[in-house]
């Protein structure tokens, strides 16, 4: 069947004349204009057309942006890989998503798990014609892996429609235009850094300057040199709040920005207030998920109320429901319910997991987020917690306790393991490993277990604290009572 001609995701790639010479991407010293990006992505797209799904070695580099744009132009779904993924995690993602090739920067050293795949080096200086996009809006654009409470991460299949819908809704909420210059230092294998932080500016015809890795100096330098917006996770804003009192350059940079946006986890009111006190500027929060892209935001023209994630974005239906699924009618700022959302921003399915997909949706097509919230009388959403205690948010990364427990149990010095998150001023939550040692005389050290988890799963999933116990507290059914651990 002939594929449809959906409207292009990046109209600015077709620009000609002076418009095509505007900057699109900058990573450190390297930059590409729209004409150069169109040519480089066109060249790579020409090499991958017809591939089923492609893996992208998503280092924080120019090539990652070019590779993902190329895949979208070619109508091929991209699976961004964390270049720091450990062997277990990588093997799972590759087996589950079955990519036909891997796109990588020419200088990247790929691990053995990828050796069997055809490799296509991405040349950011290559020149090729931009192919006509033959894709339907429901076609998969990205498969992004996200942790659940138990088991290995699931691949959320994100359709092209969702990318367009969420980025256009944010443009409305934030008055985001092609004149904006974004600075960010987020990883490019998650929605925040990749979809909002790279595809967002490109859809608007604006530009992004990526810091490679986040630093307060980098953010200050770019904001003082023409950048208009900053995107970050709360840990980054916490580090900004810590640095501000002794750093007038940073204070000036933030004061002059058009928009400071935080997301991926809650930004504590204390950090909001500290930043406002020094800069006179309010950080605004938006709320999203890998599966839903963005659901709510404080609007650029709205009241930036600390501790809230604003109002539903255009096109997003949002409701709070009680345990039995009954919608909560009151906007009273008190009644707590689970957030459910419906709209064109939603993912299609978890790859190869019809069971998990079915469980995630209600009969009338709302997605169950697992986030608990109240709504103020004027509709502002305040997130107050989450249903599952076994999901930890650390540095803005979602991490499943079960996944880490399974990895820890594979270490010979571990007899039993339970993982919890506890409050951390910098990371929001830090991962705590409660360990019953195989040999009480030789309990495994934190460094040993951290390396073990980092090497199997990913460094950000490593425990930051280890506590040794003689036995885990269990109920009559033998289930570990995590709440009892929290109060130890």
193 binds ligand MCA (CB under 6 A): yes
290 binds ligand AMP (CB under 6 A): yes
Q: Is 95 exposed, middle or buried (0-12, 13-18, 19+ CB in 10 A)?
A: exposed
Site residues for ligand AMP, 312-371, by CB under 6 A, read 369, 371
Report the C-alpha gap between 458 and 461 in whole angstroms: 5
Q: Which is nearer to ligand AMP, 247 or 361 (CB)?
A: 361
432 binds ligand AMP (CB under 6 A): no
Q: Which is nearer to ligand MCA, 75 or 86 (CB)?
A: 86
DSSP structure class, residue 258:
S
Pick one of 68, 162, 211, 233: the residue that binds ligand MCA (CB under 6 A).
233
452 binds ligand MCA (CB under 6 A): no
Pick one of 10, 27, 214, 347: the residue that binds ligand MCA (CB under 6 A).
214
H helix or E strand, kind and range, residue 434: strand 428-437
Question: Residues binding ligand MCA: what is the number (CB under 6 A)?
Answer: 26
87 binds ligand MCA (CB under 6 A): no
Pick one of 60, 152, 155, 263: the residue that binds ligand AMP (CB under 6 A).
263
Q: Which is nearer to ligand AMP, 146 or 420 (CB)?
A: 146
Residues in the chain: 488
For residue 314, CA distances in Å to 167, 190, 318, 394, 471 come to 11, 23, 11, 29, 51
Report the C-alpha gap between 318 and 289 in whole angstroms: 14
Phi–psi pair at 22, nearest 5 degrees: -70, 150
Which among ligand AMP, ligand MCA, none contacts residue 295 (Cβ within 5 to 8 A by kind)? none
Pick one of 6, 120, 321, 454: the residue that binds ligand MCA (CB under 6 A).
454
305 binds ligand AMP (CB under 6 A): no
Which among ligand MCA, ligand AMP, none contacts residue 236 (Cβ within 5 to 8 A by kind)? ligand MCA
Pick one of 47, 460, 467, 482: the residue that binds ligand MCA (CB under 6 A).
460
Which among ligand MCA, ligand AMP, none contacts residue 460 (Cβ within 5 to 8 A by kind)? ligand MCA
Report the C-alpha gap between 101 and 370 in whole angstroms: 35
111 binds ligand MCA (CB under 6 A): no
Site residues for ligand AMP, 129-168, by CB under 6 A, read 146
- What secondary structure does DSSP assign to 161-219, as a single string? HHHHHHHHHHHHHHT--TT-EEEE---TTSHIIIIIIIIHHHHHT-EEEE-SS--HHHH
- What secondary structure does DSSP assign to 225-254, as a single string? TT--EEEE-HHHHHHHHHHGGG-HHHHHHH
207 binds ligand AMP (CB under 6 A): no
Q: Which is nearer to ligand MCA, 121 or 451 (CB)?
A: 451
Sheet containing strand 181-184, strands side by side? 30-33, 23-27, 207-210, 181-184, 229-232, 259-262, 284-289, 293-297, 311-312
Which residues have a Cβ under 8 Å from the Cβ of 329 and sit 6 or more positions away? none
191 binds ligand MCA (CB under 6 A): yes
| 423: three-class secondary structure by DSSP | strand
Q: How many helices (H) does the chain have, and how many strands (E)?
A: 14, 25
60 binds ligand MCA (CB under 6 A): no
Residues interacting with ligand AMP, by CB under 6 A?
A: 146, 191, 263-266, 285, 287-290, 309, 369, 371, 383, 386, 393, 398
Residues interacting with ligand MCA, by CB under 6 A?
A: 84, 186-187, 190-193, 213-214, 233, 235-236, 263-264, 288-290, 395-397, 450-451, 454, 459-460, 462
């Amino acid at each position: 069947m002939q594929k449809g001609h959906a409207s292009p995701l990046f109209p600015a790639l077709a620009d000609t004349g002076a418009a095509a010479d505007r900057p699109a991407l900058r990573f450190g010293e390297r930059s590409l204009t729209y004409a150069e990006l169109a040519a480089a992505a066109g060249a790579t797209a020409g090499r991958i057309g017809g591939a089923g799904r492609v893996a992208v070695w998503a280092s924080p580099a120019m090539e990652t942006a070019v590779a993902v744009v190329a895949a979208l132009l070619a109508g091929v779904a991209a699976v961004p890989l964390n270049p720091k993924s450990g062997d277990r995690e990588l093997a799972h993602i590759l087996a589950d998503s079955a990519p036909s090739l891997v796109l990588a920067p020419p200088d990247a050293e790929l691990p053995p798990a990828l050796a069997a795949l055809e490799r296509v080096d991405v040349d950011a200086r290559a020149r090729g014609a931009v192919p006509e996009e033959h894709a339907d809006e429901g076609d998969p654009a990205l498969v992004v892996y996200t942790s659940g409470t138990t088991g290995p991460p699931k691949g959320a299949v994100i359709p092209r429609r969702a990318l367009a819908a969420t980025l256009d809704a944010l443009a409305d909420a934030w008055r985001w235009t092609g004149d904006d210059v974004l600075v960010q230092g987020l990883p490019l294998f998650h929605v925040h850094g990749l979809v909002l932080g790279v595809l967002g500016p490109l859809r608007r015809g604006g530009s992004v300057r990526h810091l490679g890795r986040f630093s307060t100096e980098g953010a200050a330098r770019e904001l003082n040199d023409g950048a208009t917006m900053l995107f970050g996770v709360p840990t980054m804003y916490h580090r900004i709040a810590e640095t501000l009192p002794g750093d007038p350059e940073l204070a000036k940079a933030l004061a002059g920005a058009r928009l400071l946006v935080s997301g991926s986890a809650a930004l504590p009111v204390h950090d909001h207030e500290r930043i406002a006190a020094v800069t006179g500027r309010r950080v605004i929060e938006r709320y999203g998920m890998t599966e839903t892209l963005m659901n709510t935001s404080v609007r650029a023209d709205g009241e930036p109320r600390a501790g809230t994630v604003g109002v539903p974005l255009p096109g997003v239906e949002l409701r709070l429901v009680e345990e039995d699924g009954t919608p909560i009618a009151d906007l009273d700022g008190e009644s707590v319910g689970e957030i459910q959302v419906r709209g064109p921003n939603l993912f299609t399915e978890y790859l190869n997991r019809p069971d998990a997909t079915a469980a995630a949706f209600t009969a009338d097509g709302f997605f169950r987020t697992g986030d608990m919230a109240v709504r103020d009388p004027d509709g502002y959403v305040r997130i107050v917690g989450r249903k599952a205690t076994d999901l930890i948010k650390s540095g803005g990364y979602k991490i499943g306790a079960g996944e880490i427990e399974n990895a820890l149990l594979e270490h010979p010095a571990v007899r039993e393991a339970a993982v919890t998150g506890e409050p951390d001023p910098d990371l929001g939550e830090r991962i705590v490993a409660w360990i019953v040692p195989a040999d009480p005389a030789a309990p495994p050290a934190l460094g040993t277990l951290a390396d073990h988890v980092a090497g199997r799963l990913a460094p950000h999933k490593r425990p930051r604290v280890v506590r040794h116990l003689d036995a885990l507290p269990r109920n009559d059914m033998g289930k570990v009572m995590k709440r009892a651990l929290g109060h130890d």
